[in-house]
Amino acid sequence: MIKKLTFLLTLMLVVTGISAQQWNLMPMPKSIEAADGAYRIQSEGVTVTLQGNYHQRLPMNAAWFLTRLGKRTTIPMLPKQGKEIVVKVNRAGTVKLGENESYQLKVTPTEVTIEAETDLGAIYAMETLLQLVNRDAQGFYIPAVTIADSPRFPWRGLMIDAGRHFMPVDVIKRNIDAMAAVKLNVLHFHLTEDQGFRIECKTFPKLHQLGSNGEYYTQEQIKEIIAYANLRGIRVMPEFDMPGHTTAWMPGAPEIASAPGPYEIEKRFGVFGATMNPTSEKTYKFLDKFFKEMAALFPDEYMHIGGDENNGEQWNANPAIQKFMKEKGIKDNHQLQAHFNKRLLKILQKHKKKMMGWDEIFQPDLPQSIVIHSWRGRQYMDEAAQKGYQSVLSNGYYIDLSFNARKHYMVDPLPDTTHLTAEQQKRILGGEAPMWAELVTLENVESRIWPRTAAIAERLWSPNPAAPIDDMYRRLMVVSQRLEETGSRHMANREPMMRRLAGTSNIQPLMLLTNAAEPIEGYKRHGSQKYTTYHPLSRFVDVTMPDAPDAIEFSLLLNRFIESKSSDTYVELSKMLTRWEMNHQQFAVIAKENPLLTEVEPLSINLAMLAATTNVMLKQLYYGKMLTKDDAAKMERVIIELAKPVAEMNLPLADDAKRILELVTDSTNTLPSTEE
C-alpha cells in the first residue's frame, strides 16, 4: 500500500512537473521536484569537478558532457573556469547486470551537484543534466530541480543484427553513444546468421573466411567495441544463434551440420534448414573450442545462444539422427533441442558463462540459472518467471517491424494487470529492442532504431504507469535532436540517400514527402517482393522512418486543436496541410524523367489530395459545419482510396483525416449536404 502511494505521489510530481515545466527528459526520472529559479550558464562556461573513487570512464564522460554542452551553447568550456558542477562518487562501478546505477541531481540557481554510488549513476546524471539544459532569450539555463533516479529494470537492451547486414564499427559505436544518452545498458550483438558469420574465429578461421564475404569484425575490433561500450556503461552480450539460423557456419564447418551440404551463405530471408547436428560428439567438441575462444573475448557473464526457429527439416531427414532419438527415447525435435541445450549449457558453464536464449529453449529441466528471452509472446516470459527462471522481454519491442513508438511504448514488461507474484516479478529483468536487419543497411539502420528506441528505453527505466502518449511524443521529438548531438545519423543519413535518388541537390520536396510517409508495418514489405541480401535498400521507402516526424507533429497539433479549437492551432494545421498540398508540383519537377521516383509519384499525389481533403474537413470542424452521413460516407471512401500503400509506404495523415471526418459527421442527418 505504502509502495503504491509513493508511486502515485511520484507520478503526481512527474505530472505536475510536466505541466508546469514541460520537461524534455527521456527517460523520465523516478522522482523530480521542480524548484524556483534556474542555474544560468554564463559566458565563462562550466567545469566539472570529480570527487571520490571512480573508474576512468567518469572523466571521459565528463569531457563528453562538456563537449556536447559546449557545442549546444557555443561556449568554450575552459578547464577550471566558470561555475563548478560537482560530481561525487563512492566507488568505481562494474559494467555488469545489477550494478548500482542510481543518482541524485540537485540544481539550484547557484549550484549543480551530482551524487552517485558508482560512476555509472554519475554518467546517467550527466545525461539527465544535458537533457535539462534549456534556452530562452537570455541564453542557456538549467531549471532548478531535485531529481532522485534509479532504473526500474536492470536489463535495458538494444539488439543489433549484424548477421543479415554487416554493420561497421563506427555504426555500432554511434549506437552505443545514443544508447548511453537514453540510459540503455546492454548491447546484444547478434553476430551469426544464415546470411553471415560476422566475427573472426582464430580456432576455426574458415568460419569467418567462408561465412562472411569478407564482412566480419576482427577480434581487435570486437575488443575495441567492448571497451568503448564499457566506457559508456554498456555491457556487450554476443549471440551465436544455434542450432538453427546457422547456414553461414556450414561452408566453413560442414562437419557439424545435420546434412552433408554443400552449403553456401544464404542470400534470401526466412527460416532455413541448416542446423547443427545435436547427436554428434564432433559438434560438441567443436563448440567447446569455439566457446572457449569467445568466452575469453567477451567479458560479459552472459552468452546468448539463440535457439529460435529451428524447423527440424534436417533432423527429420537424417536417419542417424532419427536412430539416436529412438535409442535415447527422445520423442520429438523439441526434446532433441533440449538435449542439445543441456550439452551446450555444460560447455558454457565450463567457460564460466551464463546461458541466455530465445524462448524456444525453455524446458523445465534446464537449471534456473539460464535466462529466457521472450519474443514469440509475453506468456513465455511469465511462464518462465512462474517456474523460477529469469527473463527478458522483446515481444512487443521489435523495432524492425516499423511500428510507431506509441505501439512499443504501450508494452510493459510488468503491466499493472500482471498475475505474477512479487517474487516472480523480480525475475523479470527488463527488455530489449531487437533491430533485425533483413531490411536495413548501415545507411538507414540508425533511422529505424532512433528515436523510437528512446521510448522503449523509458519503459525500461521509468516508473510505471507511463506518461501520456502525446507527452511521450513531444519529448521523443526533442530527444531525437539530442541524439544527433551524440553523433547519431538517424536524421542526417537520409539526405545523401535522397540526393542519390533525386540526382540533384534540390531535395526539399522529397524531404517534405519523406517526413510525412512511413514504411508499411509488420512483415508486409516481405509480402510485396522477395527481398535478398543483394537488394541495395536504397529506394524511397528505405529513406522513410517509422514515426514520420511531420506526421507526428500534425497529429499532436490536431489533438490540441480538438481539445481547444484555438485559432492559432487551426492556422498552424492548415498551413501544414497547404504545404503538403502544394508539394506535389515541386516533386513532379524532380520526378520528371527520373525512373527511381516513378513509383513514388502516386504517393506524392495522394499526399496532396489527402491534405486538400483534410484541409476542407478541418475548416468545417473549425466553423462547426457538419457533413451528412451520406456525404461523410463518400468522403471516407476517398480517404480509404488515398490511404492505400504505395511503393511499400503509408501516409499516416490518413488516420488523422479519418478522425476529423468522424468529428464533422452528423450521424443523425442522412440528407445530402446542400452546400456543394
357: phi > 0 → left, psi -120 to 50 → alpha, else beta; which? beta
Of 397 and 554, CB closest to ligand ACM: 397
Of 432 and 550, CB closest to ligand ACM: 432
Tell me the closest approach of the beta carbon of residue 355 to ligand ACM, in angstroms: 16
CB-CB contact of 467 with 14 (8 Å): yes
Of 14 and 191, CB closest to ligand ACM: 191
Task: Centre a 10 Å sphere on the Cβ of residue 318 and count the other Cβ atoms it contains.
Answer: 18
Task: Return the DSSP state at 222.
Answer: H
Of 358 and 587, CB closest to ligand ACM: 358
User: Whole-angstrom Cα distance, residue 410 to residue 172?
Assistant: 27
Pseudo-torsion of CA 127, 129, 132, 134, nearest 10°?
Answer: -110
239 as an active site residue: the answer is no
User: Whole-angstrom Cα distance, residue 467 to residue 31?
Assistant: 13
CB-CB contact of 216 with 183 (8 Å): no
State how far the alpha carbon of 628 is from the alpha carbons of 144, 561, 652, 668, 672, in Å.
Answer: 53, 22, 25, 8, 6
Tell me the closest approach of the beta carbon of residue 245 to ligand ACM, in angstroms: 8
CB-CB contact of 274 with 250 (8 Å): yes
User: Whole-angstrom Cα distance, residue 631 to residue 190?
Assistant: 53
User: Whole-angstrom Cα distance, residue 566 to residue 573?
Assistant: 11
Of 149 and 239, CB closest to ligand ACM: 239
Of 347 and 399, CB closest to ligand ACM: 399
CB-CB contact of 177 with 184 (8 Å): no
Of 308 and 484, CB closest to ligand ACM: 308
Tell me the closest approach of the beta carbon of residue 635 to ligand ACM, in angstroms: 41
Binding residues for ligand ACM, rule: CB under 6 A, are: 308-309, 358, 375
Beta strands in 394-520 (DSSP E): 428-435, 518-519
Tell me the closest approach of the beta carbon of residue 406 to ligand ACM, in angstroms: 22
Beta strands in 150-278 (DSSP E): 155-161, 186-193, 196-197, 235-240
Residue nearest to ligand ACM (CB): 308
Short-list 212, 376, 204, 206, CA closest to 294:
204
State how far the alpha carbon of 12 is from the alpha carbons of 7, 9, 32, 147, 618, in Å.
Answer: 9, 5, 10, 14, 35
Tell me the closest approach of the beta carbon of residue 438 to ligand ACM, in angstroms: 11
Tell me the closest approach of the beta carbon of residue 376 to ligand ACM, in angstroms: 8
Instruction: Specify which residues 636 forms β-bridges with.
Output: none
Short-list 64, 233, 168, CA closest to 445:
168
Treating both helix axes as pointing N-terminal to C-terminal, what angle do 469-485 and 549-564 enclose, rounded to 10 degrees?
150
Of 395 and 613, CB closest to ligand ACM: 395
The C-alpha cell 489533438 sits at: 559
Tell me the closest approach of the beta carbon of residue 398 to ligand ACM, in angstroms: 7
CA atoms within 13 A of residue 422's CA, in its CB half-sphere: 1
Joined grid coordinates for residue 330: 527422445
Amino acid at 483: L
User: Whole-angstrom Cα distance, residue 633 to residue 639?
Assistant: 10
The C-alpha cell 571521459 sits at: 60
Of 293 and 309, CB closest to ligand ACM: 309
Tell me the closest approach of the beta carbon of residue 311 to ligand ACM, in angstroms: 12
Of 163 and 509, CB closest to ligand ACM: 163
Tell me the closest approach of the beta carbon of residue 377 to ligand ACM, in angstroms: 12
Task: Return the DSSP state at 557.
Answer: H
Tell me the closest approach of the beta carbon of residue 307 to ligand ACM, in angstroms: 9
Q: Which of 33, 99, 215, 309 is catalytic?
A: 309
Triad 95, 96, 102: Cα angle to 5°: 70
Q: Mapping DSSP to helix (H, G, I), strand (E, B) and coil, where does residue 139 land?
A: strand
Task: Return the DSSP state at 665.
Answer: B
Task: Centre a 10 Å sphere on the Cβ of residue 197 and count the other Cβ atoms it contains.
Answer: 32
Tell me the closest approach of the beta carbon of residue 313 to ligand ACM, in angstroms: 16
Joined grid coordinates for residue 146: 531535485
What is the dihedral sign for C-alpha 522, 523, 527, 531?
positive
Active site amino acids:
309
